[in-house]
Structure 1
């Protein structure tokens, strides 16, 4: 048993809180590459979760009252703390997820633009705006603004423990909400680091708080009366989240994973498409919700593409040493999932060009490329979340689009085509698509991030992500004597006639 990792942000004076400090059960965070203990954290029960949310209520009112300018200033200061200690945070990410340090630093760096964008654009996106009233109600003025919901609960994943939860946390904070954050039980140290860093720039109130534990802690957060809950994880857990939130009619944002496809047209830049497929499928040991899992290649360039992918994958290796480009599987049960998908593909006629069943170890999975895999095999239908690719030959892009859309998921996608890229992108049933690049949409703060189908609903990032954590407040105000007395029992026959005449003039020709 050890204390929190030394790489966490330095302690500051604790913000005001009424959360109990009595002793609680604990759990250990482990290095997935070695099994060594990284840190020890409390298992927060329902009582403690409820107390944390209660403390957030007062903090939410105070934080909302600061206004856009001051909140933006604090958020930019938080980004500054993260930037100056980017390697420190990357150390914590590396220790708890096993991903290479450079990949961890990349993850942290990408979130900084999002913090800056949300801080800058929240006033314009959410601030009060006058809107047209129409001729019938021209004696009124009208406005709409987007008000913070209050307290937002965020349940984060382990695969990108900085970038993904901050996609909800940052935008919720910029909108004026307080946040209670439950990181994955595999990455509690990352969550603690982020919350401690925020407390350095917002020491007055517990605006961003941490709770840690397992599924019961997450369920308690769902039932705690938070005003909205954002969750990233599997569709199965997403259903449990929705069920728990339904009792209190708590609205939810769900990101439930994906089975993303990459399409390669006959005129594509094959070298770049192959590089995108390999990185999109193998980076972070394939543990990426918008990572590439299925590839559909035009028959005219299939052989060339396969040769290039093989060339790029052969030198890749999963390991814990500095030279390894791929780290361990973070969740201990995931190698079994990858093994099952590869076995199903091979048993049903698929071939492993690289890797195969022997590539799956206890902690590490070596890269695997599968071809001739039936479209209804597990490797093509279920989220594998490992460093594997299935590559299929198609006669044309119509077939590629049909196969890409033949999925219960609909998160991201990628298209490589010189002439038809944007056209094909629009035809793919997914929340996001990158053309001639991979996963680019996630790094662009002004674009919404989210999916459809079993990939979930709701959006983070961009204007949609800011509005996701607000409610629309509409105000209609009479600004002159009423032209027609419509909303009164004193309404006269003349009023009715005038309204009918006006309606006919406005809409009668439709």
Structure 2
């Protein structure tokens, strides 16, 4: 097992912005922001270089209120639009995303600093999400017959109505997946959407809006506002019929409190301190490859990425050696092609957090097996993929989410200990189990307190299973995206019950005492014949 880190190789290319990001494109996207013509501007910077990227108009609370007013008017017509027409728009959007993906890849890399391969996964994700809801929405939202109160005499139907105008607050780390992915089911359900993407990656979200408009989405049904939460967050909450938020647990708690005060619903995907379990019968080489995919995509800035690995002590040294070797071979770089394995962090505050967590752990006795340092010669926000051992509870990164390319690794005596340690966190978003025995892996997965658990995969298997719900337990959030839950949360269920002939009141001339006796006999009979 290595005792000292080895520098990660670098890819030295890609210093400027790609040619696809023309002034014409950037002007067209920024014009989509719901803001006054004389709005103040905020400049975003490209993480690869630190240089200026775009000047975005800043929305005011008044702009947000105006956006909601327009959205409410547009939503009435949109909700009355047959779902088959909404489906056509989504499928055209699906095709446009795939046809124009190079623009999206360039935008995502320029705004977030991620690699092209990580950006492409977002394109794939949105194509899958769009196709799924376009093809499934009619069935998921269709009126459903429900069992009536009195067999044959009560005709009961469950209807689904759109909430109205949904507020979506999306993060910077997955600017296409989180922005478009949460808006799509809300839109196809008949809602309008007013969205606040993170300012740093707003261009990617605006690109998705631009393509949806090109696909035929009526004006004002989906709008975007730009600004700090402290400035316009209150206006979003005050006007929304439902809140969809992805971000920190602290902010999620506030949104949940405010939504509860207004008696509106909310769905929150929050933080995580996700664990990977490598059982004693795991394929070591495959598990080490899986750990790379689990820990370092988008430079570790992924809610479902792994920050803790628990390895059976019988194979601990062998696994660590394989994992460290693979980590040291990763290529860091600012390349607008597929040559780099790991990009950079997105903003200086993330670099500060990663540096502080690693430095604190080392100062308190942790050992760095790989990485452990910034790489300013590659760009201002590069930090090497880092593996630590000897991490103890008094170290910040033991329990706190780092949200960067840092993972701590621990030996465990047996599976029970690994499960207990994995569950010893207030978070519960994602987990990963590695074993040669699929049945054993699924059994261990069921014991983990996490909204999604992957067996012999990092996170893509559960995330990509779009027909199944995805979300967190505990401090990792409320509600789910994907599957039926991902669209039904944006609707109001309504029960319509039509009573035929006779209800629960006695017929004329029959006493309540006689009627009660008759109903009692009917209830006993229904139980006897197995009726629900």
> Which bin holds the TM-score, normalised by the shorter protein?
over 0.9
Q: What secondary structure does 1:142 align onto?
A: strand
Counterpart CA distance in 2 for 1:41 and 1:487 is 70
Alignment of 1:170-319 (within 5 A): 170-202=184-216, 204-319=218-333
Residue equivalent to 1:343:
359
Of residues 115, 125, 135, the one that matches 2:130 is 115
1:348-380 per-position Cα deviation (integer Å, ceiling 9, x unaligned): 332111123567995111111101212453222
Residue equivalent to 1:30:
45
1:194-232 per-position Cα deviation (integer Å, ceiling 9, x unaligned): 111111122533211111111135413433321101010
Counterpart CA distance in 2 for 1:218 and 1:436 is 43
| C-alpha distance 359-203 of structure 1, shift in aligned 2 (>3 A) | closer
Which segments of 5 or more consecutive residues in structure 2 lack a partner in the other structure?
Answer: 1-16
Give the C-alpha shift of residue 311 in structure 1: 1.1
Counterpart CA distance in 1 for 2:511 and 2:348 is 71
Kept in 2: contact 1:182–1:191 (CA 8 A): no
**TM-score of the aligned structures, taking structure 2 as reference length:** 0.89
Of residues 449, 462, 472, the one that matches 1:429 is 449
Whether 1:142 and 2:148 are equivalent positions in the alignment is no
Whether 1:57 and 2:78 are equivalent positions in the alignment is no
Q: What secondary structure does 2:333 align onto?
A: coil
Q: What secondary structure does 1:482 align onto?
A: coil
Residue equivalent to 1:48:
63
Give the C-alpha shift of residue 8 in structure 1: 4.1
Kept in 2: contact 1:60–1:177 (CA 8 A): yes
Kept in 2: contact 1:43–1:217 (CA 8 A): no
Name the count of aligned residue pairs.
503
| C-alpha distance 335-10 of structure 1, shift in aligned 2 (>3 A) | closer
Residue equivalent to 1:73:
88
Residue equivalent to 2:11:
none
Whether 1:412 and 2:426 are equivalent positions in the alignment is no
Kept in 1: contact 2:433–2:456 (CA 8 A): yes
Give the C-alpha shift of residue 104 in structure 1: 1.1
Of residues 333, 348, 358, the one that matches 1:332 is 348
Mean CA deviation greater in 291-300 or 436-445: 436-445
**TM-score of the aligned structures, taking structure 1 as reference length:** 0.92
| C-alpha distance 57-151 of structure 1, shift in aligned 2 (>3 A) | same
Alignment of 1:484-503 (within 5 A): 484-485=504-505, 492-503=512-523
Counterpart CA distance in 2 for 1:217 and 1:156 is 16
Counterpart CA distance in 2 for 1:290 and 1:305 is 22
Mean CA deviation greater in 104-113 or 495-504: 495-504
Whether 1:395 and 2:410 are equivalent positions in the alignment is no
Q: What secondary structure does 1:187 align onto?
A: helix
| C-alpha distance 299-34 of structure 1, shift in aligned 2 (>3 A) | same
Kept in 1: contact 2:432–2:453 (CA 8 A): yes
Give the C-alpha shift of residue 465 in structure 1: 0.4
Residue equivalent to 2:9:
none
Counterpart CA distance in 2 for 1:62 and 1:137 is 38
Give the C-alpha shift of residue 167 in structure 1: 2.6
1:268-302 per-position Cα deviation (integer Å, ceiling 9, x unaligned): 11111111111211121110100011000111111
Whether 1:352 and 2:368 are equivalent positions in the alignment is yes
| C-alpha distance 62-256 of structure 1, shift in aligned 2 (>3 A) | same
Kept in 1: contact 2:241–2:265 (CA 8 A): yes
Counterpart CA distance in 2 for 1:43 and 1:491 is 71
Q: What secondary structure does 1:186 align onto?
A: helix
Kept in 2: contact 1:86–1:109 (CA 8 A): no
Residue equivalent to 1:153:
167
Which segments of 5 or more consecutive residues in structure 1 lack a partner in the other structure?
Answer: none
Mean CA deviation greater in 266-275 or 200-209: 200-209
RMSD: 2.7
Whether 1:450 and 2:468 are equivalent positions in the alignment is no
Higher RCO (C-alpha under 8 Å, 6+ residues apart):
2
Q: What secondary structure does 2:145 align onto?
A: strand
Q: What secondary structure does 1:474 align onto?
A: strand
Give the C-alpha shift of residue 453 in structure 1: 0.9
| C-alpha distance 493-72 of structure 1, shift in aligned 2 (>3 A) | same
Give the C-alpha shift of residue 108 in structure 1: 1.3
Give the C-alpha shift of residue 91 in structure 1: 0.7
Mean CA deviation greater in 137-146 or 94-103: 137-146
Q: What secondary structure does 2:452 align onto?
A: coil
1:243-263 per-position Cα deviation (integer Å, ceiling 9, x unaligned): 443443332111112111111
Counterpart CA distance in 2 for 1:466 and 1:487 is 44
Kept in 1: contact 2:108–2:204 (CA 8 A): yes
Counterpart CA distance in 2 for 1:54 and 1:351 is 56
Whether 1:39 and 2:54 are equivalent positions in the alignment is yes
1:433-475 per-position Cα deviation (integer Å, ceiling 9, x unaligned): 1111111211121121110111101011111101111111111
Give the C-alpha shift of residue 7 in structure 1: 7.7
Counterpart CA distance in 2 for 1:437 and 1:486 is 62
Counterpart CA distance in 2 for 1:267 and 1:45 is 57
Kept in 2: contact 1:5–1:38 (CA 8 A): no
